[in-house]
Amino acid sequence: MSGDKEKPPAPRWIETEALILNVSGPVGALHPQPWMTKPETTRVIAALEAGGDEVRFIGGCVRDALIKRPVQDIDIALSAPPDRVCELLTAAGVRVVPTGIAHGTVTAVIGHVHFEITSLRVDVETFGRHARVEFTDDWSQDAARRDFTINAMSCTPDGTIYDYFGGLDDLAVGRVRFVGDATQRIEEDALRLLRFFRFYAVYGEPPADEHALAACRERAADVARLSVERVRGELLRLLMAPDPADVLQLMRDNGVLAHVLPEAGRLERLKRLCWLESHALVRPSVKPDPTRRLAALFDADGGIALRLANRLKFSLRERKRLVTAAARPWPGALADDPIALAKALHHEGVHAVRDVALIEWADELIGQAKLPRARTEAWCRALDAIDNWREVTFPLKGRDAIALGVPHGRSIGRLLRGVEDWWEEGGYVAGRADCLERLKAVLEEESR
């Protein structure tokens, strides 16, 4: 602000039912953002404002824009009821999907861009993940039903910010704090307990809010009420945080991890893996991955991983990947034995082998700042080989054995498997001609 502009009045604070409400109005301004001004956004805003209601961006898009993080989802709120919202959007030629119309939410779709639009509401009665709501025109009442103060901020299309519960201050210092009474908010929806730790992992700075931790300790068993899909989603999002190991330790210290992931025992290895993925290695093929990070938490035991994958209802593909990464069937060999590495790649594929290599490398880093240079170079060569791997196919078929006079029957498979083993032990470099010569040599040996 320039010095000649009038300063806004000092905020007036009212304490009511343990909620601190800032009723002074705007608290600042957000400079125009590309996501606010792109054509799809302005079209949706214009359609909604045509009804005469105030329209604001709300929640995560405001929070992330304030701290210069990429905005992923654009959520919008207004006081018009959902049926009126649908009318306004339809009149403007915007496709509407009634994703949660009973609870005041619809989705506007323009091309590949989606906007979640919610009517201002207040909870009348809660039922776990669901609530009976009434619609309102009071922005502070709507903000009061949100989970955390940093998610309860809103801003107008011109960037004017409203913050009824101190979210701006909390965001500035990395404080993740429930709106209102933490225990009550978790009782209303147990998913908020897991969301607290996820948001702390991404936005928080130590120490964690003690009121929130006390509520999480008290209500930890409520996690059992949640659907598997909800738990899995929050867990995988948490694992994608910059340093999830410290937050998982916080969950363990407060009696929460035992209700979510009791199998997790190798937090230090996870910490080293995250360091490799996010800081130590600069290569396009190595990026943070929640399935790999989950596998790093277990000792080399595919049975534990399989039971967990079944409990969390992983897809068949993700289940196989988790089990292979957790079992780690080639310990140490990936960095030491190029032939063993090639065999692993041939039989299990690039993704599975890269998972195992990174987890094994992380395991070697436990207790030491860095490995000897020669060992680091060995792991780098292994990753180079993984990145450069091209799938190979054994060049012989049954007809090749028949052409050499081998009669139809089981002997064809036996002979070809023997040649394939030889081809594999040689690192898959032998071509068709070499494999045929090997087959001929085997046949000559057997005919003697």
Mean pLDDT over 270-293 rounds to 96
What pLDDT score was predicted for residue 17? 32
389: tokens are: 């791997």
* Residues in Cβ contact with 139 at an 8 Å cutoff, skipping those fewer than 6 apart: 56, 77, 120, 154, 162, 164
What pLDDT score was predicted for residue 15? 33
Q: For residue 334, what is the DSSP state?
A: H
pLDDT at 256 over 70: yes
Return phi, psi of residue 261, to 5°: -145, 70
What pLDDT score was predicted for residue 129? 53
What pLDDT score was predicted for residue 52? 96
CA-based radius of gyration for the chain? 29
What pLDDT score was predicted for residue 389? 95
pLDDT at 11 over 70: no
What pLDDT score was predicted for residue 127? 53
User: How confident is the model over 207-249, as pLDDT tens digits?
Assistant: 999 999 999 999 999 999 999 999 999 999 999 999 999 999 9
Q: In Å, how far are 191, 239, 280 from 232, measured between CA atoms?
A: 11, 11, 28
CB atoms closer than 10 angstroms to residue 204: 24
Better-scored residue on pLDDT, 125 or 191: 191
User: What's the distance, CA 433 to chain centroid?
Assistant: 48
Q: What span, in angstroms and rounded, lies between the C-alpha atoms of 218 and 117?
A: 34
Q: What is the dihedral of CA 238, 195, 200, 157, to 10 degrees?
A: 110
Q: For residue 148, what is the DSSP state?
A: B
Q: What span, in angstroms and rounded, lies between the C-alpha atoms of 352 and 383?
A: 12
Average pLDDT score over the chain:
90
Q: What span, in angstroms and rounded, lies between the C-alpha atoms of 385 and 45?
A: 51
Task: Provide the whole-model pTM.
Answer: 0.86
H helix intervals, 106-190: 139-144, 167-173, 182-188
Express as a percent the part of the chain with pLDDT over 90: 81
CB atoms closer than 10 angstroms to residue 211: 13
Q: Can the peptide bond before residue 82 be classed as cis, meaning omega within 30 degrees of 0?
A: no
* DSSP H or E segment with residue 446: helix 432-447
The pLDDT-based confidence of 364 (bands split at 50, 70, 90) is very high
* Residues in Cβ contact with 190 at an 8 Å cutoff, skipping those fewer than 6 apart: 128, 219, 222, 223, 225, 226
b vs e for 58-85, b when ≥16 Cβ sit within 10 Å of the residue's Cβ?
A: bbbbbbbbbeeeebeebbbbbbbbbebb
CB 55 within 8 A of CB 48: yes
CB 97 within 8 A of CB 109: yes
The pLDDT-based confidence of 445 (bands split at 50, 70, 90) is confident
What pLDDT score was predicted for residue 9? 38
**122-126, 290-294, 390-394, 411-415: which range is least confident on average?**
122-126
Mean pLDDT over 41-64 rounds to 97
292 CB-side CA count, 13 A: 23
Q: What span, in angstroms and rounded, lies between the C-alpha atoms of 271 and 273?
A: 5
Helix, strand or coil, per DSSP, at residue 417: helix
Mean pLDDT over 275-288 rounds to 95
56 CB-side CA count, 13 A: 28
What pLDDT score was predicted for residue 126? 58
Q: What span, in angstroms and rounded, lies between the C-alpha atoms of 99 and 107?
A: 6
pLDDT at 418 over 60: yes
284: tokens are: 């396009």
pLDDT at 21 over 70: no
What pLDDT score was predicted for residue 214? 98
Q: What is the dihedral of CA 181, 184, 190, 192, to 10 degrees?
A: -20
What pLDDT score was predicted for residue 227? 95
The pLDDT-based confidence of 131 (bands split at 50, 70, 90) is low
Mean pLDDT over 268-283 rounds to 95
pLDDT at 128 over 90: no
Mean pLDDT over 189-197 rounds to 97
What pLDDT score was predicted for residue 386? 97
Name the residue type at position 183: T
Better-scored residue on pLDDT, 2 or 93: 93
CB 279 within 8 A of CB 286: no
pLDDT at 411 over 70: yes
**234-238, 242-246, 320-324, 330-334: which range is least confident on average?**
330-334
User: How confident is the model over 66-105, as pLDDT tens digits?
Assistant: 999 999 999 999 999 999 999 999 999 999 999 888 889 9
What pLDDT score was predicted for residue 20? 44
